[in-house]
Amino acid sequence: MADFFFSLINTAVNCLGVKQLKLFSWILFSLQIAVLLIFSVLSLKMLITHQIHFNLISFYNNNAFNFSSVLQASGITILSFLGFDAISTLSEETYHPKKSIGKATILSILLIGAIFIFTTMMAGMVYPDYTHLNSDTAFMSILQKAGGHYLVLLSGLTIVLSFGLACGLESQAAVSRIIFSMGRDGFSIHF
């Protein structure tokens, strides 16, 4: 039933047009950033009040580092990020696409990378003994320690909306644009 609900909302927003899709995407992105900012502020507060301690192991742990694992994870990460292809498939909807598409792709990679590195480093300081965490719910346990029950609830809501709406919106818009472009250019699909 939730799939139907999310599909209905995604279709309605995409039918309203690119401007509404952009607005809706910014709202969902802002919610995600808000959770990360709250976590960051609470983590920094814990660091300042000496509830947690600064360590570089959360950034780089020589004993647990394995370059092969990094390469495997990088492959999965690259294939999992649908946002980058949405940048290029919606290039007809932007101003100066020859200049802005490449810049937007590179800038998004750098910003997302910086956010992930900082968040992971703070998470490692909040919960340095990660071996006792359940790998499926590890970040929720870290959020619980940093911000309590309400931060976990806000994060859960954000995750559901992000996967249910944000990913669906971008995927549907990107695929619709590809099919539109193929039809306009005279390509046909035969099943």
Q: For residue range 141-175, what is the model confidence (pLDDT) as tens digits? A: 999 999 999 999 999 999 888 877 877 777 787 77
Residue 93 is classified by DSSP as G
> Residue 85: which of 171, 191, 183 has the closest Cα?
171
Best mean pLDDT range from 3-12, 20-29, 43-52: 43-52
> Residue 126: which of 36, 42, 33 has the closest Cα?
42
Q: What percent of the chain has pLDDT over 70?
A: 90
* Mean pLDDT on 116-142: 89
Contact, 164 vs 144, CB < 8 A? Answer: no
Q: What is the pTM of this model?
A: 0.77
Q: What was the pLDDT predicted at 107?
A: 87
> Residue 43: which of 31, 32, 55 has the closest Cα?
55
